Structure 1
Amino acid sequence: MARFQALSLYLLSFCLQSFASPTKAGEPFLKALNSSAWIIGNDIWNLTIAQTYGTKLMYKGYDLVGEAVGHYVSYNGAVDNLNWTSARIVKKSGDYTDIAFSANEGDMHWVLTPDLFGAYQYFVNRALPTLGEFRTLWRLDNTTFTRGHTSERDQDLPPLALILSGTKVQDETWLLPNGTYVTKYDFATFLPSIEGNLSYWGVYGQLNGTGAQIGSWYIHAGKDYFNGDHLKQELIVHRESSSGDAVQLNMIHGTHYQAVSNDTFPVGKTWGPWLWYVNDGSASDAAPRAQQENKDWPYAWFQDSYGYHSRGSLSGRVVLSDGRAATGAAVFLGDNHPNKTALDQGSWYYYRTYADSNGNFEFNNVREGMWGLQAWADGGKIGDVTTSFLRNDVSVAKNKQTKLGTMTWKTQGRKKIWQIGQIDRKATDFEYSGPPHQHARVVKCPANFTYTVGKSTTDDWCFGQSDIGKWTVSFDVPPFPSGSSSPAAVLSVSLAGYSSGVSSNILANNVMIGNLTSEDILSDPCLYRSGTLAGEWHYYEFELPAGTLKKGSNTVDFQCTRTTLWHGFMWDSVMLEWK
């Protein structure tokens, strides 16, 4: 019914193209069409917004939505769309006009200026339920917006006809007649979640065959309202399979690659502002605009109920208990006394950085408050450290620089026998790992495989194990001191991700020392949703009792006993140490 209402408003809004003129030429405006429909815009663009959907997006005389759904806000997928009960101008400050659309769950704001190609947007929570997924999005004309741009891909979105020619094999994934696959998850990517990193993505194409180009972009200068840690990845553009709409997603609280992420939010929690930006379709134009937004953030014109400008800085140095600096460590500032992993945190605000070569780190523009500080290995010189660092009750005050000094991170303190892959919570350097996201890449990995320590290299080890079969690590142990027996050892298994339905028994010299199954590991969708580098990180230790290892040749086996297509283990690191 909402779509029919929007269509019936088309002629009315067309008649109002001169818009009941604002008080000054070019000034941003809000005009009510009736009690549940409005037009907002400036002299550059205007949008008709009904109870749920923003349709009829006019730009240079063209409707950029066309027969598509348009703009809306929803949570838990498309199950719960927000319904607007009112709209009002809440503030005018200089050139900025802040227009709020209210729903029971909260307020969606559009901030316009007379010459802004697009709008700043932000959402203020009032009564969102506990949720995993919360998003704003555009579904735009499929004949105009034919290409998608992410940090990994810049290419045509798959045409609807191509999707319809295939056989659906799982969630939004089709097997094509030529034996290849098409899936929306190939357009997923990691969000650049560290302050200063460029964060922009969009869809673009040609205006109705005129030759003129058009692009719709999201630019996020602020990163602290995103949930999760450094390895947060999301689906951000794709082709809608039911209609062909070009979809530009804005997953401001997303769960596409996580095992668990259900969060509650305080009243007044604000996501944004981010910039919805319209240009000539050029990524080379969107990039410098993103750079400028980064320079301007935190925005001087904005304020929220939790002290948007009440910010300070935090610095410190982390050294390992064995004397090494925590070189390149991932450092995360999040929930105080956390009861969730860093990736799963999402109720509040979050800050991410990396330590330098000396273990020094710094966070700027941190909201005032009490925080929990975490650090973990990101490969390199500390890629053999299995433990992580946590310090709670870290206070950041407005306009103050908090200096934590040097802090000690206790390592596992064991002597390494061998290691395959650096511990960085990613499948770095393994065969077939890394961008771009690509469906079914794990089927390239072997069912049976032998890695010989001292002869094989890291890129011989495949990024995922999925098929029934056995992966063997073959290695020699140096002679034990005269008269001594083999001491106990510890096998560390670090998984970059795990998708359920695949089980493995772990054996040392043909003696079972443990297993990995769906009953013991929380599942994430990494492997079956085109992930090739990370999902949700998991870490396990298995003891090899004294006498298990022997002088000379030894083996550790990962015996896959159950399989599910495109599911399995994504490896981070496997390491054997003397206990």
Structure 2
Amino acid sequence: MIASLISIAALLLSTTSALVTQSLPTEPFLSQVDDQTWIIGNELWNLTQGIQYGVKLFYKNHDCVGDAVGHYVSYNGAASDLNWVSASVVSQGEYNGTQYIDVKFTANAGDMHWVIFSGLAGAYQYFVNHALPSLGEFRTLWRLDNTTFTKGKTDLRDESLPPLSNFIAANLVQDSTWLKPDGSGYLTKYDFSTWIRTQTYYGLYGDGFGSWYINAGKDYYNGNHLKQELLVHRETNTGDAVQLNMIHGTHFQVSTVDVFPDGKIWGPWLWYLNDGSKDDASERAKKEFSEWPYPWLQDEAYQARGSVSGTLILSDGRPAANVAVFLGDSASNKTALDQGSDYYYTSYADAEGSFEFKDVRATTYGLQAWSNGSKTGDVTTSFLKHNVTVEAGETTDLKTLDWKVSEKEKIFQIGDFDRTSYGFQHGGSPYTHGLADKCPGDLIYTVGESEPQDWCFVQTHLGNWTIVFDAKAPGEKDTAILIVSLAGYTTGSSSTIWANGVKIGNLTSGTPRLLNDGTTYRSATTAD
């Protein structure tokens, strides 16, 4: 079959490009044009793939890429785009009565797969690592025609992309951030950021066309529950509509450089085309979530999965109600947010402290848990258990897990220990550049009179933030501990901590102390 497709592609490319949408096979196919050009698709769409970029994306007799860059895979921003040296059909078969092929594009760093089903507008994609360097950012993406795809949607934002004319060089104030021409506010690509592990579908759409990413499985993402990423935006140099698949992201973190094992798989996720209907994309997402992990992927390690369950009880007798639970690297020296070499699972305990992870890849993990506010908002400690082994087809029952909490008497507390700025003034607001300017330089919080919402979500201005509280005079052997839980931290900050006029500590950014996490200047308002 492949040999006949090659001859068909050669014939088609000798005619006009418009004919590509009409005469290709009526089943999933790979056609090789020359040693640097291939065509993939099915009866609904087709893409011309070059060494670097996928262009001429024809769907409904329309080129969805147009003058834009198209599809590509890159790491460390745009510094290193992958170049494809060969393409082949590595497997084919039938699932639920539908034919499919798995097309592999090979680069020195690894393999990009397109799993193409007959009758599906779009394709499943996954990437298999072989020689990626230690890196922070790794992504696949589409840069599409900006007259076709005029709007962007995430779980948090759904609106038109700003027109290219709004990005005036003289109004650039910082990284990808511009003052609006009328002076009413700011435009930044980070407006379309969101929580990566809670999104269901997102993408670009316009009249008659939609391009969506549906990442049903999220175990290949780096980070924990609070992982944020940029998902769509306007490319301000060209005007391209950009749809990002940040499978290893860095925008809102400190230390995200990871080494990946040979064979690590990112994906599969579904890239889905439709007529721009969000309802249709939402229904498709429900279908994908119900079918994950995908039975059709012919990979033994991917299919080898088990489950983990247990119940967390605090040492003071309370259930660890609704706490955040994380399954990640065992015996790691990285925070849960900064882990990213392998596979990661997030969940929340129920009201009794019970939790369960399903469809977990079979290997050894470390289990962590921390307060998610509410009934456990006073818990300052975290839970950690190493060497949690998951076996294929088995349930690892950890039974009851004892979580040691502090026995010290609490003098005061402002907000919950939940690693976020929720509850504070402006905390949890939409991504907004310059919102920090609304927080004061000087602030006085009086315990017993002030409320958490009187404490602002971020401190960026020079000044003193003061807490006034009553406490009994300490005895000779008494000690007090001040615990500061930060949702984010930016380079260039330095805070001196005083108690009754006596300097007791300092928080200063920069190596080897607290590093920059990119949250404040990239408009985050809740966490890093």
Q: State the distance in 2 between where 1:529 and 1:252 align.
A: 19
Q: Report the counterpart of residue 191 of structure 2 in structure 1.
A: 186
Q: Report the counterpart of residue 548 of structure 1 in structure 2.
A: none
Q: 1:90 to 1:435 in 2, by over 3 A?
A: farther
- 1:201 Cα deviation after fit: 0.7
Q: Report the counterpart of residue 511 of structure 1 in structure 2.
A: 502
TM-score by length of 1: 0.86
Once the two structures are superposed, the pairs formed by residues 306-321 of structure 1 within 5 Å of their partners are: 307-321=301-315
Q: 1:12 to 1:495 in 2, by over 3 A?
A: farther
Q: State the distance in 1 between where 2:14 and 2:425 align.
A: 57
Is 2:21–2:45's contact at 8 Å kept on the other side of the alignment?
no
2:354 aligned with 1:357, yes or no?
no
2:49 aligned with 1:44, yes or no?
no
Q: Report the counterpart of residue 424 of structure 2 in structure 1.
A: 430
Q: Report the counterpart of residue 132 of structure 1 in structure 2.
A: 136
2:351 aligned with 1:347, yes or no?
no
2:78 aligned with 1:68, yes or no?
no
Is 1:453–1:475's contact at 8 Å kept on the other side of the alignment?
yes
Residue 492 of structure 1: which of 483, 491, 497 is its match?
483
Q: State the distance in 2 between where 1:17 and 1:479 align.
A: 83
Q: State the distance in 2 between where 1:303 and 1:378 align.
A: 38
- 1:16 Cα deviation after fit: 5.4
CA RMSD, Structure 1 to Structure 2 (Å):
1.7
* CA deviation string 1:53-73 (max 9, x = no partner): 001111111110010000000
Q: 1:12 to 1:319 in 2, by over 3 A?
A: farther
2:220 aligned with 1:215, yes or no?
no
**Paired amino acid for 1:530:** S
Residue 416 of structure 1: which of 410, 434, 438 is its match?
410
Q: Report the counterpart of residue 524 of structure 1 in structure 2.
A: 517
Is 2:24–2:43's contact at 8 Å kept on the other side of the alignment?
no
2:237 aligned with 1:242, yes or no?
yes
Q: Report the counterpart of residue 322 of structure 1 in structure 2.
A: 316
Q: Report the counterpart of residue 55 of structure 1 in structure 2.
A: 55
Residue 221 of structure 2: which of 226, 247, 267 is its match?
226
Q: State the distance in 2 between where 1:503 and 1:11 align.
A: 65
Q: Report the counterpart of residue 201 of structure 2 in structure 1.
A: 200
Q: State the distance in 1 between where 2:316 and 2:60 align.
A: 64
Is 2:188–2:433's contact at 8 Å kept on the other side of the alignment?
yes
Q: State the distance in 1 between where 2:398 and 2:525 align.
A: 36
Match of 1:477, SS state, is: coil
Q: State the distance in 2 between where 1:446 and 1:11 align.
A: 67
Q: State the distance in 2 between where 1:98 and 1:401 align.
A: 31
- 1:401 Cα deviation after fit: 1.1
Q: 1:20 to 1:216 in 2, by over 3 A?
A: closer
Match of 1:397, SS state, is: coil
* CA deviation string 1:290-335 (max 9, x = no partner): 1110110111101325x11111111001111111111111100011
Q: Report the counterpart of residue 6 of structure 2 in structure 1.
A: none
**Paired amino acid for 2:521:** Y
Is 2:202–2:212's contact at 8 Å kept on the other side of the alignment?
yes
TM-score by length of 2: 0.94
Q: Which moved more, 1:428-437 or 1:142-151?
A: 428-437
* CA deviation string 1:361-380 (max 9, x = no partner): 00100111111111111111
Match of 2:150, SS state, is: strand
Q: Report the counterpart of residue 17 of structure 2 in structure 1.
A: 14
Q: Which has the larger share of strand?
A: 1
**Paired amino acid for 2:67:** E
Q: State the distance in 1 between where 2:18 and 2:329 align.
A: 52
Q: State the distance in 1 between where 2:428 and 2:49 align.
A: 41
Q: State the distance in 1 between where 2:519 and 2:32 align.
A: 45
**Paired amino acid for 2:126:** Y
- 1:486 Cα deviation after fit: 8.8
Match of 1:495, SS state, is: coil
Q: State the distance in 2 between where 1:146 and 1:499 align.
A: 33
Is 1:166–1:176's contact at 8 Å kept on the other side of the alignment?
no
Once the two structures are superposed, the pairs formed by residues 117-156 of structure 1 within 5 Å of their partners are: 117-156=121-160
Q: 1:153 to 1:10 in 2, by over 3 A?
A: farther
Q: 1:359 to 1:247 in 2, by over 3 A?
A: same
2:111 aligned with 1:116, yes or no?
no
Q: State the distance in 2 between where 1:231 and 1:10 align.
A: 48
- 1:479 Cα deviation after fit: 7.0
Q: Report the counterpart of residue 9 of structure 2 in structure 1.
A: none
Q: State the distance in 2 between where 1:392 and 1:425 align.
A: 22
Q: Report the counterpart of residue 370 of structure 1 in structure 2.
A: 364
- 1:282 Cα deviation after fit: 1.9
Q: State the distance in 1 between where 2:21 and 2:328 align.
A: 49
- 1:19 Cα deviation after fit: 7.4
Aligned-pair identity (%)? 57
* Matched residue count: 510
Is 2:168–2:181's contact at 8 Å kept on the other side of the alignment?
no
Q: 1:462 to 1:216 in 2, by over 3 A?
A: same
Q: State the distance in 2 between where 1:468 and 1:364 align.
A: 48
Q: Report the counterpart of residue 105 of structure 2 in structure 1.
A: 101
Residue 279 of structure 1: which of 274, 279, 303 is its match?
274
**Paired amino acid for 2:225:** H
- 1:488 Cα deviation after fit: 2.2
Q: State the distance in 2 between where 1:352 and 1:39 align.
A: 38
